Structure 1
Amino acid sequence: MTQLQSFPPLHHTHLHPVQRQRLVELDWLRVLVLGLLILYHTGMLYAEGWGWHYKSTYSSKMLTNVMLWSNQWRMSLLFLISGAAISFLLASQPWGQFIRKRVPLLLLPLLFGMLVIVVPQVYVEANSKGLINSPNYWHFWYIYLDQTSAEFAPHKTLGKMHLTWNHLWFLPYILAYTLIIWAAYPLINSPKCAPVWRWISGRLTTRMVILIPIVLFYVIGWWLYEKYPTTHNFVQDWYNHARSFLCFVLGFVLVRIPFIWSKFASLRWYLLPAALATYTYALFAFNGGSLGDNIIAKEINGLIWSANGWLWILTIIAWAQYWFTFSNPLLKYLNSGVYCFYILHQTLIIAIAYFVVPKKLGAAVEPILIISLVAIGCVVLFEVIKRLPVVPVLFGIQKQKLTSTDN
């Protein structure tokens, strides 16, 4: 994500002026939430009842309940943070320059990731599940790239192709949403839309910011959840698109309304118990509890689930504003590498687990070892990659300004 630093006066803009003070809490949240992916995706090895690319011989129902907590808001918060970053970037860069920089930053790591980075994940999954018997990894990579290979004939993912993006699905979604906002920006930044922004700024309250998104998430779930469950198939993933794009737009808008954004910290003690209450209900429902089978009970259930995700997003932002009011060298370093860590982490988890799991080291030693090796691997590979010619751009690392990447 770009550094949310001071910008020159925005005399040209008709939108509400973007905050000129660096929002360091977003830098912290981006690092912490993407760092959580290492723990979450390692947890997927052990989460009882949840399928994944590869599973350990150990499993835990309690872990699944814990992971349910972040499952409800983690990616939505990342989309919100990305929308906020795009809001700053569009305000600080010429319209054409923005898209010339942005598309390669997202598209090149995605293409390279699909052709190279995720292949070990596909190999481990195919062999461990008996989908494709190809003990030679290099041969497997060849038939994965060969879109006419007979071995992959039953496993097409898009028409006649069998490429996959696995955990990198976030990149094409962010790219699509960025293109939409970029294309609409000259209009929404025009004098015609200025009254709309003045109306929003004049009437929007923190209560509305809490309640309106909950209603929108509820409507999205009511309308799309059963018809289009989350699959990460870009052209059919309408429920996921609707939720993710809404979060993206909320991030874009909220950082342009400073008097609302700055109030979250003062609400932290109100938001936290509300979020805990909805999560308590989510655990109750997830483990078989029910309010009943009538239509009113079902709608209340949907409304509470919708509230759970948004309340946790607001709670986390509120406490981040309270706690993370500073920057330091560690944050700057992690911000420079977090995009690279995101691209690498799941492949490292699955590849390391593939060798570690059969050794049955124990339910505690095994995940600790995997997490440690993945963290070390991310840092070491980042240090190597950023010193190479050409290669850094394939991992989202910008050589000229390492702290300005964002996904």
Structure 2
Amino acid sequence: MTQAQTFSPSTVAPLQPEFHRHRLVELDWLRVLVFGLLILYHTGMLYAEGWDWHYKSTYTSSLLTNIMLWSNQWRMSLLFLISGAATSFLIAKQPAGQFIRGRIPLLLLPLLFGMLVVVVPQVYVEAHSKGLINSPNYWHFWYLYLDQTSAEFAPHKTLGQLHLTWNHLWFLPYILAYSLIFRAIYPLLNSRVCAPVWQWLSKTLSIRVVILAPIALFYLIGWWLYDKYPTTHNFVQDWYNHARSFLCFAMGFALVRLRLLWNQLASLRWYLLPGALLTYAYALFAFNGGSLGDSDLADEINGVIWSANGWLWIVAIIAWAQYWFRFSNPLLKYLNRGVYCFYILHQTLIIVIAYFVVPHKLGSVLEPLLIICAVAVSCVVLFELIKRLPIIRVLFGIQHR
């Protein structure tokens, strides 16, 4: 078989042309809801007791920390799975050149603009609240941040000899890299060589394997990489985070192509939810000092349960989304268009608004409510403004209709 025969359009696997013709509305809902949860989570980081962050309120709560532990184990993994599924649809619909021309500006331009402009207020607030850099004038601080030779930032290098940071925007370069990897190998994945593999997976792969195999892989990734390469969001050294995130991206890419398996999750929702709740209960037990013992076996069981907690919540949430969210409406379409812009803006808004609100000590209830409402309104108002500016909207990932 020649290379031309292997990778030509005539050799496309029979399963591939059909899956992308039917939009999975539950993925649109999940994308909006999980990004919304991310905004609440980052607001909660102001108040989570024992968890360091860029800026902290004077009010902290251990109860809130325990609640936030629930999504801490799976929220980003689920976003990577959703991104993998979206990439799977796009690659199937678009030629390679069109995919790359669309994907790189959509992810890279907001990342670069974010590092140079959007993230800077976060750095300013953190530097002053923690006494790292003494430069009270924001515009002078911004100049020092952009000037890679500034002595004030000499002890705070983040990327080699640079002191630029992407903070919450670290998700973008990871997604860009994974998308380009799958675009590069897609001719093989969609060739006659892999057609029997897709056929076999679709017909013989058990839903139990879809549920149990990722737990085992999560566990092996943690066993191999967690201690050596803890999560830092340093792209070239973040191997534990890469392994786990890339696995979830790949799972999303594959599962939406195996529609029979994907659709079976909804029927298991009442089995998946109790399992997820049990693993979260154990996570709370372990997080608050509980232990199964000091033996090696106890350590391994602990690792398996934590791994199960991360994956069972993902499949349980997908299963319930398939059951609840099989419809679209104008609100979903609006939020789906704006959620990327909200993601880019939200953490800067949280930190800046908190920086001005926290010193007034409004109370442990009024303060977070005020910050959440202010962030939500600011996200919508800025989105409405930015989407009307032809050049600026590209820098915030807002695509033309």
TM-score under structure 2 normalisation?
Answer: 0.96
**Structure 1 Cα separation of the partners of residues 298 and 96 of structure 2:** 48
Q: Deviations over 1:170-212 (max 9, x none)?
A: 0000001011101111111111111221222222111000000
TM-fit CA distance, 1:16: 2.7
Q: In the alignment, what sits opposite 1:5? A: none
Partner of 1:324: 325
Equivalent position amino acid for 2:359 in 1: P
Do residues 340 (structure 1) and 341 (structure 2) align?
yes
Structure 2 residue matching 1:131: 3-state secondary structure: coil
Q: Does 1:186 align with 2:187?
A: yes
Contact 2:85 2:249 in 1 (8 A): yes
Structure 1 SS opposite 2:23? coil
Query: C-alpha distance in 2, partners of 1:389/1:94?
Result: 26
| SS of equivalent to 2:56 | coil
Secondary structure at 1:339 match in 2: helix
Give the Cα separation in 1 of the matches to 2:12 and 2:365.
Answer: 55
The answer to whether the 8 Å contact 1:31/1:338 transfers is yes
Q: 1:15 to 1:37 in 2, by over 3 A?
A: farther
> In structure 1, the residue corresponding to 2:58 is in which secondary structure?
coil
Show the counterpart of 1:405: none
Corresponding letter in the other structure for 1:378: C
- Asked if 1:250 corresponds to 2:251, the answer is yes
Equivalences, count? 391
Deviating more after overlay: 10-19 vs 74-83: 10-19
Match of 1:201 in 2: 202
Q: Could you tell me which residue of structure 2 aligns to residue 85 of structure 1? A: 86
Contact 2:11 2:191 in 1 (8 A): no
- Once the two structures are TM-superposed, the CA of residue 14 in structure 1 deviates from its matched residue by 1.6
Return the offset for 1:15: 6.4
Contact 1:15–1:188 (CA<8 Å) still a contact in 2? Answer: no
Letter in 2 for 1:392: R
Structure 1 position 12, deviation (Å): 6.5
| CA shift for structure 1 position 111 | 0.2
Aligned residues of 1:337 and 1:382 also touching (Cα < 8 A): yes
Q: Deviations over 1:60-84 (max 9, x none)?
A: 0000000000001100000000000
1:148 aligns to what? 149
Aligned to 2:242: 241
Aligned residue number for residue 222 of structure 1? 223
Give, in angstroms, the shift of residue 11 of structure 1: 7.3
Residue 13 of structure 1 deviates from its aligned partner by: 3.1
Q: Distance in 2 between the 1:287 and 1:260 partners?
A: 37
Gaps of 5+ in 1: 1-9, 402-407
Give the corresponding residue for 1:398: 399
Which residue does the alignment assign to 1:6? none
Matches for 1:1-400 after TM superposition, within 5 Å:
13-14=12-13, 16-17=15-16, 18-399=19-400
In the alignment, structure 2 segments of 5+ residues that lack a partner are 1-8
> Which residue identity does 1:256 align to in structure 2?
R
Partner SS, residue 389 of structure 1: coil
Cα gap change, 1:150/1:269 in structure 2, threshold over 3 Å: closer, same or farther?
same
Offset at residue 244 of structure 1 (A): 0.2
TM-score (ref. length: structure 1): 0.95
Question: What is the rounded CA distance, in whole Å, between the counterparts of 1:393 and 1:74 in structure 2?
Answer: 26
The one-letter code sitting in structure 2 at the alignment partner of 1:86 is T
Q: Distance in 2 between matches of 1:13 and 1:372?
A: 50
Amino acid at match of 1:85: A
Q: Distance in 1 between matches of 2:10 and 2:33?
A: 34
Q: Which amino acid aligns with 2:241?
A: N
CA root-mean-square deviation: 1.0
Deviation at 1:20, TM superposition (A): 2.6
Partner AA of 1:355 in structure 2: F
- What letter matches 2:187 in structure 1? P
Aligned to 1:4: none
Q: Deviations over 1:333-383 (max 9, x none)?
A: 000100000000000000000000000000000000000000000000000
Runs (4+) of structure 1 exceeding 4 A deviation are none
Partner of residue 4, structure 2 = none
In the alignment, the residues of structure 1 paired with residue 270 and residue 399 of structure 2 have an alpha-carbon distance, to the nearest angstrom, of: 39
Q: State whether residues 122 and 352 of structure 2, in contact with CA within 8 Å, keep that contact through their aligned partners in structure 1.
A: yes
Contact 1:44–1:52 at 8 Å: present in 2 too? yes
Q: Tell me the alpha carbon deviations over residues 243-273 of structure 1, each in whole angstroms, 9 at most, x when there is no partner.
A: 0000000000000011100011110000000
2:12 maps to a residue whose letter is T
Please give the secondary structure, in 2, of the residue aligned with 1:263: helix
Question: Distance in 1 between the 2:93 and 2:230 partners?
Answer: 37
**How far does the alpha carbon of each residue in 1:89-148 deviate from its partner, in whole angstroms, 9 at most, with x for none?**
011111221111111100000000000000000000000000001110000000000000
* Contact 1:275/1:308 (<8 A) preserved: yes
The answer on whether the counterparts of 1:57 and 1:357 sit within 8 Å (CA) in structure 2 is: yes
